[in-house]
Amino acid sequence: MDIKSFFEYFVKHNYHLIIIYIIVGYIVYQILSKVIKKGTSKIKTKRGATIATIIKHILKYAIAIIVLIAILNELGINVTSMLAGVGIIGVVIGLSLQDIMKDYLVGFSIVFEEQYDVGDYVEINGHAGTIKKLNLKTTTMQTFENVIITIPNRMVTEVINYSQKNLNLLVSIPMPYDVETKKADKIVESIAKRLEKEEDVTDKVDILSFCSFEDSYIKYKIGIPVKNEAQFEMRRKANRIIKEEYDKAGISIPFNIIEVKNG
């Protein structure tokens, strides 16, 4: 069969329409994706990116189904009769796809209950990281070590979201027993005042003195109100300030001492 005969055969049986349907479906998806992206960009929060991802996910499957039905009709397959005749098969397939359906149901729940959005720093089932991608089937997160973890939505059982509200960061300050109480209080107050000047601290630092008596020190605690997602940097700054104030006061960080005696 030469090229001309092949082309005539191709057109005669309307196979060219199949290609046209696929191309049109792809173009429609790209256009609507841009419209969705532009529309959700007006939402000046991470919520906009999440909504855009979910809508595009649904749109992709909807257009694929419409194109598939159009192609089957073009091939002379009665889609209505076919759907009516696969009732039992549908039940079997439905049972085999239970996990996938659970993923989608939980995915809807995550989105509409606003448990987390793309860009949030969260802890899911003991894994901590930033949400990089969220759709109705899976949640993808990136850890601090740049490890990518993909979790089926049905497996999301425990979520801690560190990004939705400002946090109250608790930092322990170990004070040696040989430091006088008044001096210890002044050191902790100095630490608190320095922290309150930090940009990410949103309010006055709370001082909780004499929280407990440990083996080699008295534990003080301070509560630092910080902006969400700034808690890790603020903890590092707090530790540095504590060390600097200890050096200034001429005291050492307490540590356990083990005495070994012969006989």
What would the two tokens of residue 237 be? 């700054």
| pLDDT value, residue 228 | 78
> How would DSSP label each residue in 32-43?
HHHHHHHHHTTS
CA distance 80 to 69: 10
Structural domains of the chain, ranges and CATH numbers in brackets: 3-85 (no CATH), 103-161 (2.30.30.60), 167-249 (3.30.70.100)
Give the mean pLDDT of 129-139.
88
State yes or no: pLDDT of 18 exceeds 60.
yes
185-194 pLDDT per residue, tens: 999 999 999 9
> 3-class SS at 121?
strand
CA distance 188 to 205: 11
| pLDDT value, residue 121 | 87
The residues near 40 (Cβ < 8 Å, ≥ 6 apart) are 48, 49, 51, 52, 55
242-254 pLDDT per residue, tens: 999 999 999 888 7
State yes or no: pLDDT of 263 exceeds 60.
no
DSSP label at 228? T
State yes or no: pLDDT of 126 exceeds 80.
yes
Q: Compute the mean pLDDT over every residue in the chain, rounded to the nearest whole number.
A: 80
Nearest to residue 116, comparing CAs of 192, 53, 189, 184? 53
Max avg pLDDT among 42-56, 109-123, 188-202? 188-202
CA distance 225 to 170: 9
3-state secondary structure 123-171: EECCEEEEEEEECCCEEEEECCCCCEEEEEHHHCCCEEECCCCCEEEEE
Please state, for a pLDDT cut of 70, what percent of the chain lies above it: 78
Nearest to residue 175, comparing CAs of 249, 108, 233, 225? 249
| pLDDT value, residue 2 | 57
> 3-class SS at 241?
helix
| pLDDT value, residue 240 | 94
Q: From the CB of residue 167, how many other CB atoms can be counted at a distance below 10 Å?
A: 19
Nearest to residue 154, comparing CAs of 112, 97, 106? 106
pTM comes to 0.54
